[in-house]
Structure 1
Amino acid sequence: MLPMIHRVRSAADFARTVRSGARSGRRNVVLYGARTSEAAPSRVGFIVGKNVGNAVTRNLVKRRLRHAAAEWVGAHPRGYDVVVRALPAAAESDWPSLTRDFSSCVSVVARKLRDAEPPGGQGRVS
């Protein structure tokens, strides 16, 4: 389960993360990430549109992604906002390939954000 403190909730936070952060995509998901204050908890938001499938399928995909995100937040508790957009292929995807795509995307985005940090390691604070 992903606690509420670790969820991106507002439209403004979704927009900021998607527009100003790093991006990585795979067959099942596109992941956007942005650095936040080191004191702020890492948060994850999900976009699962109707093109993924009916309500039952969308909720299944969200549950699987939330579980993968909860494991990631446990390892990275502070300093990131992440938005995960499920693609239509996620509906037919099995659990291992969905988590593999999530993990791959999040590691690419984290590397891009680390590489974009200015010298001194402070990063962008919002």
Structure 2
Amino acid sequence: MLPKNHRLRLPQDFTATVRSGARTGRRNVVLYARVRINDPQGNNRFGFIVSKAVGNAVHRNLVKRRMRALAAQIPANANGLDFVFRALPGAAEIEWDELNQQVSSGLVSVVRKAGEKHEKGP
């Protein structure tokens, strides 16, 4: 489990990250990232969205556990970011290695896009 200070918990944090953050999609997951203006050097925070379209509760919880494990492996060199991982319906059917590859490649892209978006300003 991620520590409390590494989790997105408020609905407005999820909404701000999804609506105003950078976005990149992969076959089974969509990643959003946003640089926090009020805490740019704080911990990275992660949120997960896994809808009923992914499957029953067993499949949804499996996908959430896998995504939390992937989030825990992210190096702390990109501080002050909020991430939201949205699982798409095929996420429950793929193997760990494929999900890991999709999230890893998506993270590289979304972190770069979030930095560019932050530098441009509002």
Q: TM-score, normalised by structure 1?
A: 0.88
Match of 1:49 in 2: 51
Equivalent pairs: percent with the same residue?
52
Q: CA deviation at 1:105?
A: 1.1
**1:117 offset after TM fit, Å?**
3.7
Measure the CA separation in 1 of the matches of 2:81 and 2:93.
29
> What is the correspondence of 1:85-104 to structure 2 with a 5 Å cutoff?
85-104=86-105
User: Residue 114 of structure 1: CA displacement?
Assistant: 2.1
**Matched residue, 1:18:** 18
The amino acid that maps onto 1:32 is Y
Please name the residue that 1:39 is paired with.
41
Query: In structure 2, the residue corresponding to 1:118 is in which secondary structure?
Result: helix
Q: Report what 1:63 is aligned to.
A: 65
Question: Aligned with 2:46: secondary structure?
Answer: strand
TM-score (norm 2): 0.90
Gaps of 5+ in 2: none
Gaps of 5+ in 1: none
Letter in 2 for 1:58: R
Tell me if the contact between 2:22 and 2:117 (Cα under 8 Å) persists in the aligned partners: no
Number of residue-to-residue matches in the alignment: 120
What root-mean-square deviation, in Å, do the aligned CA atoms of Structure 1 and Structure 2 show? 1.7
